[in-house]
């Protein structure tokens, strides 16, 4: 079978390609933000691709070009904001809706957007975000240190990720903390100013390569993900896979088996953070529950098998 993977989002495509069987002949068509690369260059690469199945990430121009060029069977893979935000915009909405209707199969990375996808394409199904088990795996936690290491892993987008709420919560925690976060996201400057205002010492570091993120998780005692829209993000999944307790707000209606909680207030977040920093038994229990969950639901080994079954059904083999 020949596969053309088009674009990517949060390294989902790369991770899946890495674990596919050797019998799959694969091509990964990537692009940059450059004008040529995301327009004519992209269209040429898709036009020249010859495959038995086409799998495109994110339901914007990449998917639209593939539909217009008649690439079939075509899988459209939605990752969140395309069906949460772009579909309602004047600029992009018509493209997203066109793609939903024209794709032979729709996968969604978040169950929170599944109903939206099904309004336009009944084939839509939830396909969990995979993690790479060769990069993200548990390591022992450093013991004996009095100062706890906390890592805020999500990009600083206050409206979507709610990292400002975590800063407020951390400022109220009485434990000795060293807080680290990455200098990215549209609100990272605001986050830096807020940390100063709260007298919270936060080390803003440069963005690292995806394969280096595991090192940031391993050196931490606690990882904070998102306090936002209730979806389960890649950083939370990968941090759990690294054997670190994670605080990340989810909508429990969509993730009934996930050992995370829905955070309603900053006070609740502070309580959960404090408990995990102070109670060793609670940390150990949470790590065990989180590892069991991600290995059962989000491991690339499991999800590649599921994806191969989808491919085979589409191509009729």
Domain of residue 161, CATH code: 3.40.50.2000
Q: pLDDT for 17-59, tens place per residue?
A: 999 999 999 999 998 777 666 778 889 999 999 999 999 999 9
Q: Determine the average pLDDT of the residues in 279-296.
A: 96
153 and 286 fall within a common domain: yes
Q: What is the pLDDT of residue 83?
A: 94
> Residues 215-218: contacts with CB within 8 Å, 24+ apart?
216/151, 216/153, 216/180, 217/136, 217/151, 217/153, 217/242, 217/244, 218/139, 218/242, 218/244
Domain that residue 283 falls in = 148-297
116 and 7 fall within a common domain: yes
Q: Is residue 140 part of a domain?
A: no
Q: Is residue 125 part of a domain?
A: yes
278 and 311 fall within a common domain: no
Most confident listed range (9-18, 26-35, 135-144): 9-18
CB 298 within 8 A of CB 131: yes
> What is the tally of structural domains in the chain?
2
74 token code pair: 């075509």
Q: Is residue 139 part of a domain?
A: no
152 and 275 fall within a common domain: yes
Whether the per-residue pLDDT at 312 is higher than 70: the answer is: yes
Q: What is the pLDDT of residue 311?
A: 97
Q: pLDDT for 88-126, tens place per residue?
A: 998 999 999 999 999 999 999 999 999 999 999 999 999
162 and 291 fall within a common domain: yes
Q: pLDDT for 226-281, tens place per residue?
A: 998 899 999 999 999 999 999 999 999 999 999 999 999 999 999 999 999 999 99
The per-residue pLDDT of the chain, averaged, comes to: 94
Whether the per-residue pLDDT at 317 is higher than 70: the answer is: no
Three-state secondary structure call for residue 296: helix
154 and 122 fall within a common domain: no
169 and 80 fall within a common domain: no
What is the C-alpha separation between 255 and 66, in angstroms, rounded?
A: 32
252 token code pair: 């429990």
Q: Determine the average pLDDT of the residues in 212-235.
A: 95
Q: Determine the average pLDDT of the residues in 283-300.
A: 97
Q: Determine the average pLDDT of the residues in 170-192.
A: 94
What is the C-alpha separation between 311 and 293, in angstroms, rounded?
A: 25
283: which residues sit within 8 A by CB, 6+ positions away? 221, 222, 245, 276
């Amino acid at each position: 079978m020949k596969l053309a993977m088009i674009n990517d989002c949060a390294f989902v495509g790369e991770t899946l390609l890495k674990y596919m069987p050797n019998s799959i002949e694969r091509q990964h068509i990537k692009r940059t933000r450059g004008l040529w690369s995301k327009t004519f260059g992209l269209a040429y690469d898709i036009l020249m691709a010859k495959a038995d199945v086409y799998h495109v990430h994110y339901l914007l121009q990449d998917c639209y070009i593939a539909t217009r060029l008649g690439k079939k069977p075509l899988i459209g893979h939605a990752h969140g904001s395309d069906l949460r935000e772009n579909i309602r915009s004047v600029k992009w909405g018509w493209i997203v809706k066109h793609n939903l209707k024209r794709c032979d199969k729709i996968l969604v990375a978040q169950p929170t957007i599944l109903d939206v996808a099904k309004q336009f394409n009944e084939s839509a199904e939830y396909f969990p975000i995979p993690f790479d088990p060769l990069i993200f795996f548990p390591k022992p936690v450093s013991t004996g240190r009095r100062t706890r290491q906390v890592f805020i892993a999500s990009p600083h987008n206050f409206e979507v990720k709610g990292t400002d709420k975590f800063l407020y919560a951390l400022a109220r925690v009485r434990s000795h903390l060293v807080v680290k976060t990455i200098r990215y996201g549209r609100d990272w400057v605001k986050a830096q100013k807020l940390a100063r205002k709260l007298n919270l010492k936060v080390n803003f570091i440069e963005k690292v390569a995806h394969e280096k993120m595991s090192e940031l998780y391993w050196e931490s005692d606690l990882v904070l993900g998102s306090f936002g829209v209730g979806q389960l993000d890649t950083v939370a999944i990968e941090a759990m896979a690294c054997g670190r307790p994670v605080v990340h707000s989810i909508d429990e209606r969509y993730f009934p088996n996930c050992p995370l909680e829905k955070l309603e207030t900053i006070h609740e977040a502070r309580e959960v953070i404090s408990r995990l920093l102070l109670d060793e038994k609670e940390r150990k229990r949470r790590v065990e529950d989180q590892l069991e969950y991600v290995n059962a639901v989000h491991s690339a080994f499991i999800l590649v098998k599921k994806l191969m079954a989808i491919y085979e059904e589409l191509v009729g083999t």
